[in-house]
Chain A
Amino acid sequence: GAVVSQHPSWVICKSGTSVKIECRSLDFQATTMFWYRQFPKQSLMLMATSNEGSKATYEQGVEKDKFLINHASLTLSTLTVTSAHPEDSSFYICSARAGSEAFFGQGTRLTVV
């Protein structure tokens, strides 16, 4: 299947700092990528849909100024958690479509201390 690469796989940062997570489609182009958040023992919660060359579409309740999404090319989308707080600690996962199949990155575990 297609490969989606996500980096970093884990990151620890101090409160108030910003963290950038990258999501790349390695062997296909993705005009749309999706960003999810997952809490322990729960399913994936869609945060936003990232569209190449245009603004992301955020789900209700997700702060667009806090979770900045940039989809600058057909193979790269980034999620920046700005002014991170401990409550932002979570597992973040990106996804991209190759045809009708959806593939996920490895996930990023963010810990804010």
Chain B
Amino acid sequence: QKEVEQDPGPLSVPEGAIVSLNCTYSNSAFQYFMWYRQYSRKGPELLMYTYSSGNKEDGRFTAQVDKSSKYISLFIRDSQPSDSATYLCAFHQGGNNRLAFGKGNQVVVIP
């Protein structure tokens, strides 16, 4: 079983739609859960960071963590063309342990 699973299939949505992305993980030691947005030819940008189960909201973005099911989600409300990017989920155990990444989801928001 892979440590992190993220379906990399491209996702196209019309402007204004809700984007729903998710990742599953197998390592129970993961304590920190992150979502990154990466535009083409740029470094990843930290979007959401959380360490507990439940929802965390920041503007149009909501991160959801379910530790019991080892499942995290990212929701983008009222999607905009500027949200078109690749979204990566990431996990780590704390300290200076390495990040474990999903493969990334390419999202295209169509005007």
Contacts and interface: CB of A to CB of B under 8 A. Distances in A.
Interface residues of B, number: 24
Nearest to A59: B98
Contacts of B88: 43-44
Contact of B42 (A42, A43, A107): A107
Contacts of A19: none
B71 interface: no
Given A43-B88, A100-B51, A93 B98 contact: no
B60 interface: no
Given A43-B88, A97-B96, A105 B102 contact: no
Interface of B: 31-32, 34, 36, 41-46, 49, 51, 88, 90, 92, 94, 96, 98-99, 101-104, 106
Interface of A: 1, 4, 6, 31-32, 34, 41-44, 46, 49, 91, 93, 95, 97, 100-107, 109
